[in-house]
Structure 1
Amino acid sequence: MIERKQYTDWLLHHRDDQLIKVITGVRRSGKSTLFTLYQEILKKEGVQENQIIHLNFEDLRYYELRDFLRLNEYILERTNEKQNYYLFFDEIQNVTKFEEVVNSLNLQENIDIYVTGSNAFFMSGEFATLLTGRHADLEVLPLSFKEFQSQYSYLSLSDVYERYKHTAFPRLVSEESVQERNDYIRSTYNDIVLKDIVQRYKITEQDILERVLQFIASSVGSEVSINRINNFLKDEKVAKSNNTIERFVDAFVNGLIIYKVPRYNIKGRQLLQRLEKYYLVDLGFRELLLPLAGGDEGHILENIIYLELRRRYVNVYVGKNDKTEVDFVCIDHENHPVYYQVALQTLDEKVLERELRSLNEIDDMYPKYLLTLDIINKNANFNGIIKKNALDWLLEDEE
């Protein structure tokens, strides 16, 4: 199994803290595997097998435990007050009144609880309101570039990157067959769209729903408005209301297949309410939806950088500064901004000047970075703006 240190470190940090740990993330991003990795760490630190109880409620062996009273009885029969216990509940939404048993068990100081649930249930917004006990949320993404590269140490970084651009789902890290990879991504996509989005939102026009996502996938890194999507549909001879289109977009965001990134007014230190940008949770969905589109290398790199920034910072926005725009404004754990500009290459002096301009016009002293795929002159300092090779940066430890 691939080590996922950022996530296991988070779990260890919250170990025995009386918080219910809620693990979220797109389907097949590795939530259940994370439980297994964490349990192995606990065992190495002296936790005994009987202190760990792991139940997956999609497994029919535990069908009777989908009744919350039986589940509560099952746990109480296997625990006592003399030692600590670690409870792992996968697909908890299958348990009737699951919140009753989770909240009750969390009252016991020697019980530490970790849960996952389906996207469809999380997107309803009901989950957090049902947990009266204090809880902490961890979002699990597909593999980072560093996690992915750990399986290909014998390849050059550029060769690893060429593979990584296709998909970062853990199951596909060593899959050589293009057909197998495409089938897996299609299956994952169908699970999200059919089981999570269509059922939850009761959508009957799946073809139009998919066209909306195709437009967003083709516009990664560009400003997108509901009107722009509507105009695209009209060109396709499809007429829908703006409210319907907005509902479809929200469904994809809630299904964790895309991320909506608000614009941030740098001078005013406030969020702007229109023209957000969107990024995909995995670039395999882009290839699936746009098989004939070809590579938009600049925006592919930008998508990858966005996901890594999401791992490293509290919040990530698109920056707006008067007439210029900064690709990303990140808010760190001390509530300070950090600025990132992303470019495929800047060997052309005019390109370099353009990419530096938006950062130079920011008049504060917070860190500013220019990330590129340049190999020649890949590291430099332009009056405090630090240029880095993007692949080297992706391999750095979390800041």
Structure 2
Amino acid sequence: MIERELYMEQIIPFIDQPFVKVIAGIRRCGKSVVLQLISEELLRKGVDKSHIVYMNFESFEWMDIKDAKALYTHIGSIIKGAEGKFYILLDEIQEVENWEKAVNSFMVDWNVDIYVTGSNSRMLSSELSTYLAGRYVDFHIMPLSFKEYFSFHDLPLEQEKATIREEFRKYLRMGGFPAIHTADYSYDAIYKIVYDIYSSVILRDTVQRHGIRNVELLERVVKFVFDNIGNRLNAKNIADYFKSQQRKVDINTIYNYLNALERAFIIQRVQRYDIKGKELLQTNEKYFVSDLSLIYAVMGYKDRLIAGALENLVYWEMRRRGYEVYIGKQDDKEVDFVALCRDEKLYVQVTYQLASQATIDREYTPLLAINDHYPKYVVSMDEVWQDNIEGVKHKHISEFLLEKDWR
């Protein structure tokens, strides 16, 4: 197994702490591997193997455990009468009805340390908050970053710029699902693998979990969002589009579909932020996809989506590093990203190439108008442009994604 160091560094300090560790993310992003890495870490710490209880609820082995009572009974049969702490690792826990009630009882009744994974963010919402309020910490596992791509392919990070940029172009086309980086697959094979992942997520984490009947409309919504990645978008925009196609769709239905897709980690809604007023705005948000390969698998690779694809990669890299990320509004101008992390702030513009003076002005002017001392970047795939302008730095996207510190 390849170490997912970024996530293990976050989780390890919480081992033996009185919180349920909730590990969530889209299917096949590597949650099960993280759970196995936690098990290995426990063994290294001297925990007896018999005190580590691991259950994967996608396995046929546990098909009879359908609800909280059955889960509680099974775990109880292992723990009751035994001495010492037990470590309970439950993979894809959302397959068990009312699982949060069982987990709450585990904490009340026994000496345990609990780790659960799931593929739907609903497990982090009302039900979980009701039973475990203040007693859980959550970790969002994402597909591979560009840095992790190097680890999976056993490539050194210290290479010539030209080599790193060539590897970036491969990463851009392949996406970050770990499974596709375990062998030398063609792009066609990659997109077939990813389409199977997508189909599973659509069926199990959206259609079945939310009782969606009009699957054809749901997939049309998915394609519309994918085709507008990085553009301002909301439920009304989508409903208006369908109306222009002579298809009447209720805006609440669109809203519900977008929520279901977001809960399944297929897409992520990003709100706008007024830089001067320092407040969130409720209109003209953007949506990004959890991994670019999902777009290619569903719609094929499209060069015209390159600007949105680059924004997508920058957005998720900032999220990996713990930033809250918003779309910026500066008077009548837009800043692609305002990223906040405690007392740190970062402004980023993303474009494909700085090919003309008009493009240079469009990308740099909003950043130059921001009167504070926080770092400001223009990120592109430009091979020639090198200049920094009045403290606004330019970075090739491959360098930006691998930068150790943006401050």
TM-score calculated relative to the size of structure 1 = 0.91
Stretch deviating more after TM superposition (105-114 or 51-60): 105-114
Q: What's the CA shift for 1:383? A: 2.1
Q: Which whole-Å deviations, capped at 9, do the CAs of 1:313-364 have from their partners, x for residues lacking one?
A: 3411000011111100111133x43211112222544422321101011112
1:344 corresponds, among 342, 352, 361, to: 352
2:116 partner letter: V
SS in 2 for 1:103: helix
2:313 counterpart of 1:310: no
Q: Give 1:392 deviation, angstroms.
A: 1.4
Query: Which residues in structure 2 correspond to 1:113-124 (within 5 Å)?
Result: 113-119=114-120, 122=123
* One-letter identity of the residue aligned with 1:24: A
Q: What's the offset of the Cα at 1:188?
A: 1.2
Deviations 1:109-144 (A, max 9, x none): 852210013428538742332335600010111111
- Are 2:233 and 1:224 aligned? yes
Deviation at 1:398, TM superposition (A): 6.5
1:255-294 correspondence to structure 2 within 5 Å: 255-291=264-300, 293-294=302-303
On the 8 A contact 1:3/1:147 being kept in 2, the answer is no
1:240: Cα distance to partner? 0.7
> Contact 1:326–1:340 (CA<8 Å) still a contact in 2?
yes
Equivalent residues of 1:68, 1:100 under 8 A apart: no
- 8 Å Cα contact 2:87-2:112 kept in structure 1: yes
Match of 2:186 in 1: 177
Tell me which residue corresponds to 1:357: 365
Partner-residue secondary structure (3-state), 1:382: coil
User: Closer, same or farther in 2 for the Cα pair 1:78/1:262, shift >3 Å?
Assistant: farther
Q: Mean Cα displacement is larger for which, 45-54 or 159-168?
A: 45-54
The Cα of 1:89 is off from its aligned counterpart by 0.8
Question: Which one of the candidate residues 145, 163, 167 is aligned to 1:160?
Answer: 167
Contact 1:26 1:141 in 2 (8 A): yes
State the superposition RMSD in angstroms: 2.4
Q: Check whether the contact 1:313–1:330 (CA below 8 A) recurs between aligned residues.
A: no
For residue 307 of structure 2, give the secondary structure of its aligned residue in structure 1.
helix
Report what 2:73 is aligned to: 70
2:250 is the alignment partner of 1:241? yes
The answer to whether the 8 A contact 1:93-1:121 is kept is: no
Partner amino acid, structure 2, of 1:164: Y
Residue matched to 1:137: 138
Instruction: Give the C-alpha shift of residue 252 in structure 1.
Output: 1.3
5+ residue gaps in structure 1? none
Q: Distance in 2 between matches of 1:254 and 1:306?
A: 18
Distance, in Å, in 2 between the alignment partners of 1:297 and 1:345 is 10
| Worse-matched range after superposition: 364-373 or 254-263 | 364-373
3-state DSSP class of the match of 1:275?
Answer: strand
Q: Does the aligned pair in 2 maintain the 1:103–1:133 contact within 8 Å?
A: no
The CA deviation at 1:55 is 1.3
Q: Is the 8 A contact 1:68 1:96 kept in 2?
A: no
SS in 1 for 2:152: coil
Are the aligned partners of 2:25 and 2:140 in contact in 1 as well (CA < 8 Å)?
Answer: yes
Post-superposition offset of 1:108: 7.0
Which of 205, 223, 228 is the aligned partner of 2:214?
Answer: 205
Q: Does residue 1:111 correspond to 2:112, yes or no?
A: yes
Q: From the superposition, tell whether residues 63 and 176 of structure 1 become closer, same or farther in structure 2 (CA, over 3 Å).
A: closer
229-238 or 305-314, which deviates more: 229-238
Provide the rounded CA distance (Å) in 2 between the counterparts of 1:211 and 1:121.
Answer: 23
Query: How many aligned positions are there?
Result: 395
- Rounded to whole Å, the distance in 2 between the matches of 1:397 and 1:46 is 33
Deviations 1:198-232, CA, capped at 9 Å, x for gaps = 12332222111111111111111111133321232
Unaligned runs of 5+ in 2: none
Query: Which whole-Å deviations, capped at 9, do the CAs of 1:240-288 have from their partners, x for residues lacking one?
Result: 1222222222221122101110110010111111111111111112112
**1:22 and 1:116 in contact (8 A); partners too:** yes
CA contact (8 A) 1:88 1:114 kept: yes
**Shift of residue 11 of structure 1?**
0.9
Q: Is the 8 A contact 2:121 2:265 kept in 1?
A: no
Which position in structure 2 is the counterpart of 1:327? 336
User: Which residue of 2 is the match for residue 192 of structure 1?
Assistant: 201
Aligned AA (1:303): N
Contact 1:64 1:70 in 2 (8 A): no
User: How far apart, in 1, do the equivalents of 2:124 and 2:18 lie?
Assistant: 25
Instruction: Report how far residue 46 of structure 1 moved.
Output: 3.3
Specify which of 371, 375, 393 is matched with residue 400 of structure 2: 393
Alignment partners' CA distance in 1, 2:82 and 2:57? 20
Q: Is the 8 A contact 1:263 1:276 kept in 2?
A: yes
Q: Under a length normalisation based on structure 2, what TM-score does the superposition of the two structures give?
A: 0.89
> 2 CA distance for matches of 1:395 and 1:109?
44
1:323 and 1:132 map into 2 onto residues whose CA distance is 41
Q: 1:64 and 1:214 mapped to 2: Cα distance?
A: 37
Q: Report if aligned partners of 1:103, 1:132 keep a CA contact under 8 Å in 2.
A: no
Identity of aligned residues (%): 34
Residues 327, 336 of structure 2: 8 Å contact kept: yes
Return the letter of the residue paired with 1:397.
K
